[in-house]
């Protein structure tokens, strides 16, 4: 059917053409209405570190703004009390404890998530999103034997669904102390190749153990191997001098990359996994934050973190993206004050309570190990408020898949459930149970929490945190005893057996 002209001499398209135009306009409209998603995954943020979660002495206005315009959750959990397993579970929807190689990864570890495995990034990509990871990775890179730091790095974020990456390979206290952009080390001089070892000293780079006079930040325990930027690290490194980061610049460098990604993708849906390094050690905030909190370097790093969040929010505001952008802010595990460096965080802690009265902290099976801040802001859909729904980060994969209309491979993401209704405030129920991984494995169901027997020290003497290790069963009623002071296992053998069997059934599925 061809075009025709009306009596006024105006070109008129046929009905079939009008239908096609409307159809494609509808597709464009739907595409434009897809919400952007930003996951701000903070490192070592405690339940009591934010003003919106009770902090009185450290001000976090930008993160508190998210709580004021969205939902603040009081019963939300990471899956583990340490970083690598939490990140693995978050991205794959499978509990890391199902594998034996998902402890805290070394800086030269091979990739834990292999090409072909479904991840949250591959789900967003299938839905037409641009997806980026910016910040701390700590999930290994490369094939067995570790990555090739001096060439193309195979088996990284780009191979599991991300369209771009700008990452710290592991953590700030582990070598190599370089950035990786997509699949190559940034700024590497080919004439100064990188060598890394976690077993044997290599090269001539000074170490914290042998050359303490070169340290500008002393270590309290560990962190006495290769010195980079005046700080002792875990692991040995040689070469890559031109590529080494400066700790004081990490936060702004990552924030600038995140802002750039948002700006470049403002006209298409995007997913940004912004994994901050703050407030993990070594805490060396930029000079403009140093000494400003009154609570040592950890408090200053919290101010720097809040500033990074504020910059992202300002970017969304300026591009008029705030209304239809879901921003989720949470943490990989609970807090630790002295995690290996003498940075005055312990001495100047004052009245600040990072765990807000919960027992334990990072590394611990007690509540402070995995109960973390969890805020979801989406001005277009979510009403401001507080939710007591039971949440777990394990459900990020299935919940976001439901958001963007994608299917989840339950053979891979076997532990992830669709809890989108609870995440956006349409349901008050949430999960019926959560799993918490540390030295012991724990399960919370309703108000009851069971911690399975385990060997090991009761207290981590280095960080002064109660770990929850106990050769006997532990049972707590969190409604009456949120600080887990009274073990009720002897008085409630039926409940102990019920939760023990449930935990076993979940882990055996």
For the chain, domain boundaries: 35-188+243-431, 441-508
Q: Are 274 and 39 in contact (CB under 8 A)?
A: yes
Q: Please tell me if the domain spanning 35-188+243-431 has the same topology as the one spanning 441-508.
A: no
Query: Collapsing DSSP states into helix, strand and coil, what is residue 385?
Result: strand
Note the pTM of the prediction, 2 decimals. 0.93
Burial, 16: exposed, middle or buried (Cβ in 10 Å; 0-12, 13-18, 19+)?
exposed
pLDDT at 11 over 70: no
Residue 28: pLDDT band by 50, 70, 90 thresholds? very low
Of all helices (H) and strands (E), which one includes residue 180?
Answer: strand 180-181
Query: Collapsing DSSP states into helix, strand and coil, what is residue 242?
Result: helix
Query: Collapsing DSSP states into helix, strand and coil, what is residue 437?
Result: strand
Q: Are 339 and 362 in contact (CB under 8 A)?
A: yes
Burial, 501: exposed, middle or buried (Cβ in 10 Å; 0-12, 13-18, 19+)?
exposed
- According to DSSP H, which parts of 149-294 are helical? 250-264
pLDDT at 469 over 70: yes
- CATH for 35-188+243-431 (3.50.50.60, 3.40.50.970, 3.40.720.10, 3.30.2320.50): 3.40.720.10
Output the pLDDT for position 23.
41
What φ, ψ does residue 249 adopt, rounded to 5°? -100, -5
pLDDT at 259 over 70: yes
pLDDT digits (tens, 9 = 90+) for 229-251: 999 999 999 999 999 999 999 99
pLDDT at 2 over 50: no
- According to DSSP H, which parts of 389-492 are helical? 396-403, 420-423
**What percentage of the chain carries pLDDT values higher than 70?**
94
Q: Tokens for 160, please give them.
A: 């599991």
pLDDT at 21 over 80: no
Mean pLDDT (whole number) for 410-433: 96
The alpha carbon of 243 is separated from its chain's Cα centroid by a whole number of angstroms, namely 25
**441-508 is a CATH 3.30.1120.10 domain:** yes
Which residue(s) pair with 341 in the sheet? 219
Please name the residue that has the structure tokens 């090991």: 456
Q: Are 437 and 444 in contact (CB under 8 A)?
A: no
Mean pLDDT (whole number) for 382-400: 98
Output the pLDDT for position 364.
98
Residue 31: pLDDT band by 50, 70, 90 thresholds? very low
How many whole angstroms separate alpha carbon 307 and alpha carbon 252?
Answer: 9
Mean pLDDT (whole number) for 381-399: 97
Output the pLDDT for position 65.
97
Burial, 22: exposed, middle or buried (Cβ in 10 Å; 0-12, 13-18, 19+)?
exposed
Exposure string over 301-322, b if 16+ CB within 10 A, otherwise e: bbbbbbbbbbbbbebbeeeebb
Output the pLDDT for position 5.
45
Output the pLDDT for position 14.
53
How many whole angstroms separate alpha carbon 143 and alpha carbon 140?
Answer: 9
pLDDT digits (tens, 9 = 90+) for 154-188: 999 999 999 999 999 999 999 999 999 999 999 99
Mean pLDDT (whole number) for 203-212: 96
Q: Are 89 and 435 in contact (CB under 8 A)?
A: no
Which range among 94-103, 303-312, 441-450, 479-488 shows the weakest confidence by mean pLDDT? 94-103
Mean pLDDT (whole number) for 255-270: 98
Which residue(s) pair with 375 in the sheet? 72, 329
Burial, 409: exposed, middle or buried (Cβ in 10 Å; 0-12, 13-18, 19+)?
middle
| Rounded CA Rg of the chain | 24
How many whole angstroms separate alpha carbon 398 and alpha carbon 487?
Answer: 34
Indicate the Cα dihedral angle 401, 406, 408, 409, nearest 10°: -150
How many whole angstroms separate alpha carbon 131 and alpha carbon 39?
Answer: 11
How many whole angstroms separate alpha carbon 462 and alpha carbon 459?
Answer: 9
Q: How far is CA 295 from CA 53, 473, 481, in A?
A: 18, 38, 29
DSSP 8-state symbol, 345: T
């Amino acid at each position: 059917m061809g075009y025709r002209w009306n009596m006024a001499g105006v070109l008129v398209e046929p009905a079939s053409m009008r239908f096609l135009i409307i159809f494609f306009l509808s597709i464009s409209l739907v595409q434009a209405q897809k919400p952007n998603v930003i996951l701000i995954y903070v490192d070592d943020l405690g339940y009591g570190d934010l003003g919106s979660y009770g902090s009185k002495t450290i001000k976090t206005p930008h993160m508190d703004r998210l709580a004021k315009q969205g939902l603040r959750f009081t019963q939300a959990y990471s899956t583990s009390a340490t970083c690598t397993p939490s990140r693995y579970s978050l991205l794959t929807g499978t509990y890391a404890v199902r594998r034996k190689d998902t402890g805290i990864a070394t800086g030269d570890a091979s990739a834990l998530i292999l090409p072909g495995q479904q991840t949250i990034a591959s789900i967003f990509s299938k839905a037409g999103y641009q997806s980026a990871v910016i910040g701390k990775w700590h999930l290994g890179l490369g094939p067995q034997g570790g990555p090739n730091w001096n060439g193309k790095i195979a088996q990284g974020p780009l191979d599991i669904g991300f369209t771009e990456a700008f990452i710290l390979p592991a953590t700030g206290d582990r070598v190599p102390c370089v950035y990786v952009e997509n699949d190559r080390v940034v700024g590497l001089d080919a004439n100064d190749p990188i060598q890394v070892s976690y077993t044997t000293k290599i090269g001539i780079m000074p170490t914290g153990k042998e050359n303490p006079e070169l340290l500008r930040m002393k270590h309290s325990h560990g962190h006495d191997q290769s010195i980079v930027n005046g700080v002792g690290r875990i692991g040995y490194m040689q070469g890559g001098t031109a590529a080494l980061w400066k700790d004081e610049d990490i936060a702004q460098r990552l924030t600038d990359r995140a802002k750039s990604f948002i700006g470049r993708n403002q006209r298409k849906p995007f997913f940004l996994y912004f994994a901050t390094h703050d407030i993990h050690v070594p805490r060396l905030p930029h000079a403009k934050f140093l000494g400003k909190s009154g609570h040592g370097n950890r408090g200053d790093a919290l101010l720097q973190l809040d500033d990074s969040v504020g910059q992202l929010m300002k970017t969304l505001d300026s591009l008029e993206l705030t209304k239809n952008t879901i921003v989720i802010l949470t943490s990989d595990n609970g807090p630790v004050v002295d995690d290996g460096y003498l940075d005055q965080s312990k001495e100047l802690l004052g009245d600040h309570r990072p765990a807000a009265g919960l027992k334990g902290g990072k590394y611990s099976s007690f509540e402070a190990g995995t109960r973390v801040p969890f805020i979801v802001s989406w001005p277009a859909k979510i009403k401001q408020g507080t939710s007591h729904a039971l949440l777990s980060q394990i459900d990020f994969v299935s919940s976001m898949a439901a958001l963007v209309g994608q299917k989840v491979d339950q053979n891979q993401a076997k532990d992830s459930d669709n809890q989108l209704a609870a995440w956006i405030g349409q349901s008050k129920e949430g999960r019926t149970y959560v799993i918490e991984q540390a030295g012991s494995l724990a399960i919370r169901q309703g108000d009851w929490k069971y911690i399975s027997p385990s060997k090991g020290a009761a207290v981590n003497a280095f960080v002064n945190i109660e770990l929850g290790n106990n050769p006997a069963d532990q049972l707590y009623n969190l409604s009456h005893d949120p600080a887990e002071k009274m073990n009720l296992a002897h008085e409630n053998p039926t409940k102990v057996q019920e939760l023990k069997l449930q935990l076993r059934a979940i882990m055996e599925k």
